[in-house]
Structure 1
Amino acid sequence: MAYDPVLYSRMLTELTFAFHIIFATVGVGIPVMIAFAEWTGMKRNDPYYLLLARRWTRGYVITVAVGVVTGTAIGLQLSLLWPSFMRVAGQAISLPLFMETFAFFFEAIFLGIYLYTWDRFRRPVSHFLLLIPVMLGSSASAFFITTVNAFMNTPQGFTLKGGSITDIQPLVAMFNPATPTKVAHVLSSAYMTSAFVLATIAGAALIKKRDSLYHRKALKLTMIAALVFSITTALIGDLSGKFLAIYQPEKLAAAEWHFETARQVPLVLGGILTQDHQIKFGLKIPFALSILAHDNPNSVVQGLNDTPVDERPPLMVHYLFDSMVTIGIFLMVLSMLSVWMVRKLKSVQYPRWLLRLIALSGPLALLGTELGWFYAEVGRQPWILRGYMKTAHGATTSNQVDLMLLLFCILYVAIGFTLVKVLGRMFINNELHEELKNRGIEGGPAQ
């Protein structure tokens, strides 16, 4: 097979984004969960929740450090692998790229102060207030970088003539039509995913030590947060579907294997697509796609046949979309069930089968996030800048990208292995028992 720099550039970018998105997601969501824990501990004068906040903060610092490395790699790769795209985007959308860096510095400064000032204030709320800039900085960072991705889907605020960009309006480019739904979905899903990741840690610990009061409190807090954010993520996802129907109808049509423009269109789950565009073994929900697109079962939904063949997304995005939605529904039901069992049944102990499902929820939430981003990016193909520049025209022509791919694979394996080892050493139960004991929490984890 002939060397293809576009293919290798896409592979390397996909690899880096897939690795980075894990740390970017928890980097946005974990500060919110830390705030919930510390605030609960202060209001209830409960040392368990305060210890939760301390321990989560330590782990968070490690993930932030890894996120910096992978984020830097993304910036490097955008310049090296996609030079034509960056000549346009670097001018039109440079404002949020700069502001994202400022937001990160803002977050990092206050995170350092927050981390090293436990028990240094007479009033505990003074320490809690230091966490607010951390939350604002992490969420603002996500906001700014997501506006860049939104710009790639609905570019505006500039004029492109003969390869030259003029009439640049930075704020118009930044606040493009995709910005509201994309930013809201990214933030809400990050909060939700982080809650499930922390719930997984508590659930797995309770499988081994079912009498651990520390982990029961952690699980209760995280599952309540997971329920709230999973519902908001689903509602925002509905708005995202309506956005696609108006601004990117080809992406929605590809996700649902919808070819002919029609009314009363069903939503298709699963299935196999034949060469003549017939769907076998798929579950069709009547009128659901029309409702998703326009809140009206009789509404018209544009079909994929209205899009030129060379501008259609790959049809495999159907499975990405279905998998993402299925995971989201499962996690929402799981969080509802967990909260209901605690509040209505007044259950002291979580059933072992429920703990096993909760232990899987974190990895599933991360997988759902990955699938969502792959759907967002692959569903925009063949465009890197929709309507202006195709992916093949934005890539480098270098013949060394395959070597870069190999080197970055080695780097990510090393980082991932080191991260697992470090976090594993930080959160083993023996250290928790000693910390509970040293802080004078009676009975330790066995209460």
Structure 2
Amino acid sequence: MFMEYDPATYSRILTGVTLGFHIIFATLGVGVPLMIALAEWTGMRKNDPHYTLLARRWARGFVVTVAVGVVTGTAIGLQLSLLWPNFMQVAGQTIALPLFLEVFAFFFEAIFLGIYLYTWDRFKSKLKHFLLIIPVIIGASFSAFFITSLNAFMNAPQGFELVDGVIQNIRPLEAMFNPATPTKTAHVIITCYLTAAFVLAMIAAYKLLKGDRNVYHKKALHLTMVSAFIFAIATALIGDFSGKYLAEYQPEKLAAGEWHFETETEAPLVLGGVLNEEGEVEYALEIPYALSILSYGYPGAEVTGLDQFAPEDTPPLIVHYFFDGMIAIGMYLMFISFLYVAFRKFKPAWQYNRWLLWGIVAGGPLSLLAIEFGWMFAEIGRQPWILYGIMRTPEGATTADHVDSMLYMFIGLYTVLGVSASLVLRKMFRNNPVAHELERRGMDKGE
């Protein structure tokens, strides 16, 4: 027996389910093209066919994720109009530019992806084929940029005037390049690269653990883990800028994420813990001065607490766990990738240690989980606003009936899509294993 909610609540749940499912494929859709390009470039530079084969096989799997991402991305576009008509009535004209540019960027990516896939071995110059993947990277990354700038606008709305509920004096570029855009878009794009690197590294590490020790998987592991280490460092740096943005522009979101209840200087960073009946934090790890440093760059800074805001204007305190989970996984990914790089440099015999390989395997699903945590923190942490400081979430939602029926229908659709994509990818690579392809191409497996 399903619980009964109002249309606004069902709209929030359906949008959350759609975003949660779509973001997996969208993340891989942004990150994998860069990894394909790195593999093909390395193969061309070193005249190493193993890296070229990596690019070929990754590109085949990439097409499946793109297909599912297109379907779920279309669903999000439809749901914006169907589930959030009042929001679109107020903000739709202002955010039309990034929505249009996102579609254009996707078309740009799709056209060159088709040409790239069907022109292997058709150019005498390998460089010409490699150049075709560059527009795919640009299209995928700019697609992420434009759609994330829309989310940034929801957190820092500007570029219009609202007079008696009527939107006037629209300035699309100002709306798109709002104060939240730099940190939010940079964080989303770099985490897409990091996640794609770890998902591909997970596959290589798992194959090595299962005894398939040919040089192809070793080279795949090396390329992905070195890339992951670089992306993990960049993620941490951009995450620091994101924390400083929140401290200045959305202090209640940062305070809720850190369970920072009282405004104070030398504020500690609270990790984990639970709230007792009196609303006090128990069983948490506190890092002295860390929240002040994260917020303003020095330990004596005063950090605004939740005591400065009305309870109805603060996010749910559950966002603390999403925030902590995202940061903890990010640190784990940096640590594992650092271990691999350090072992390869100073202890080559340890780079294929079983514990390290299992750690890399765990990094694949954990990186996807961090993406989910990040978006949950971003969206739930903005509540109760759909348009920060201007429109509350229930005000932007539809009042129509049967949103619950749509929810169940889309859950069924996403289940079918998820299972189908998994089966197709599994069958695609199981029926054409690396060993057979290496043999067919006359390449040495290596041990």
Q: What SS does the aligned partner of 1:313 have?
A: coil
1:317 aligns with 319
Matches within 5 A, 1:388-399: 388-399=390-401
Matches within 5 A, 1:296-315: 296-315=298-317
**1:270 alignment partner, SS class:** strand
Q: Deviations over 1:208-259 (max 9, x none)?
A: 1242211011001000000000110011000000000000000000011111
* Farther-moved stretch of structure 1 (31-40 vs 267-276): 267-276
Aligned counterparts of 1:225 and 1:406: Cα–Cα separation in 2: 40
Aligned to 2:114: 112
Contact 2:252 2:315 in 1 (8 A): yes
Tell me which residue corresponds to 1:175: 177
Secondary structure of 2:92's aligned partner: helix
Counterpart residue number, 1:102:
104
CA distance in 2, matches of 1:128, 1:2: 54
1:134 partner amino acid: V
Question: Where does residue 241 of structure 1 map in the other structure?
Answer: 243
Does structure 1 residue 230 correspond to structure 2 residue 232? yes
Q: Which of 137, 156, 159 pairs up with 1:157?
A: 159
Matched with 2:82 is 80
Question: What's 1:441 paired with?
Answer: 443
Does structure 2 retain, via aligned residues, the 8 Å contact 1:210–1:349?
no
What code does the residue aligned with 1:24 have?
A
> 1:361-400 residue pairs with structure 2 within 5 A?
361-400=363-402
Deviation of 1:60 (Å): 0.4
SS at match of 1:281: strand
1:118-133 map, 5 Å: 118-133=120-135
Runs of 4 or more, structure 1, over 6 Å off, are none
Is the alpha carbon distance of 1:182 and 1:275 closer, same or farther for their aligned partners in structure 2, counting shifts above 3 Å? Answer: same
Q: Corresponding residue for 1:205? A: 207
Which has the larger displacement, 339-348 or 391-400? 339-348
Deviation at 1:277, TM superposition (A): 2.9
- One-letter amino acid matched to 2:266: Q
TM-score, normalised relative to structure 1: 0.98
| Structure 2 letter corresponding to 1:82 | W
2:261 equivalent in structure 1: 259
SS of the residue aligned with 2:158?
Answer: coil
Q: Who is 2:8 aligned against?
A: 6
Displacement of 1:305 in angstroms is 1.2
Work out the percentage of aligned pairs sharing the same amino acid. 61
TM-score (norm 2): 0.98
Secondary structure of residue in 2 paired with 1:119: coil
CA deviation digits over 1:172-218, x for unaligned, max 9? 00000000000100010000000000001111111112422110110
- Distance in 2, Cα, partners of 1:344 & 1:431: 32
CA contact (8 A) 1:273 1:280 kept: yes
> CA–CA distance in 2 between the matches of 1:368 and 1:230?
12
- CA separation in 2, counterparts of 1:305 and 1:148? 30
Contact 1:3–1:399 (CA<8 Å) still a contact in 2?
no
Q: CA deviation at 1:124?
A: 0.3
Find the counterpart in structure 1 of residue 52 from structure 2: 50
After TM superposition, give the deviation of residue 431 of structure 1 in Å.
Answer: 2.5
Deviations 1:14-37 (A, max 9, x none): 000000000110100000000110
Equivalent in the alignment of 1:401 = 403
Kept after mapping to 1: 8 A contact 2:201/2:221: yes
Q: In structure 2, the residue corresponding to 1:272 is in which secondary structure? A: strand
CA distance in 1, matches of 2:103, 2:433: 36
SS at match of 1:165: strand
Match of 2:276 in 1: 274
Q: Which stretches in structure 2 are left out of the alignment for 5+ residues?
A: none
Matches within 5 A, 1:129-140: 129-140=131-142
Query: Which string of whole-angstrom CA distances, capped at 9 and with x for unpartnered residues, describes residues 271-322 of structure 1?
Result: 1112433211111100000000000111110111111111100001111101
Please give the residue correspondences for 1:416-427 in structure 2 after superposition, counting only pairs within 5 Å: 416-427=418-429
CA drift of 1:2 comes to 4.9
Instruction: Confirm or deny that 1:20 pairs with 2:19.
Output: no
- Kept in 1, the 8 Å contact 2:340–2:351? The answer is no
Distance, in Å, in 2 between the alignment partners of 1:427 and 1:343 is 32
Please say if residues 269 and 283 of structure 1, whose CA atoms lie closer than 8 Å, have aligned partners that are also in contact. yes
Task: Please say if residues 207 and 213 of structure 2, whose CA atoms lie closer than 8 Å, have aligned partners that are also in contact.
Answer: no
Q: CA deviation at 1:439?
A: 1.0
How far residue 351 of structure 1 moved from its aligned partner, in angstroms, is: 1.0
Give, in angstroms, the shift of residue 87 of structure 1: 0.9
8 Å CA contact 2:26–2:69 kept in 1: the answer is yes
Amino acid of the structure 1 residue aligned with 2:373: L
Looking at structure 2, the residues matched to 262 and 353 of structure 1 have their Cα atoms a distance apart, in angstroms, of: 43
Contact kept, 8 Å, 1:317 with 1:378, in 2: the verdict is yes
Superimposed CA distance per residue, residues 97-130 of structure 1 (whole angstroms, 9 cap, x where no aligned partner): 0000000000000000000001111110010001
Assess, with a 3 A threshold, how the Cα gap between structure 1 residues 2 and 59 changes in structure 2: closer, same or farther: closer
Query: Is the CA contact 1:269–1:284 (under 8 Å) kept in the aligned structure 2?
Result: yes
Structure 2 CA distance for aligned equivalents of residues 162 and 156 of structure 1 = 17
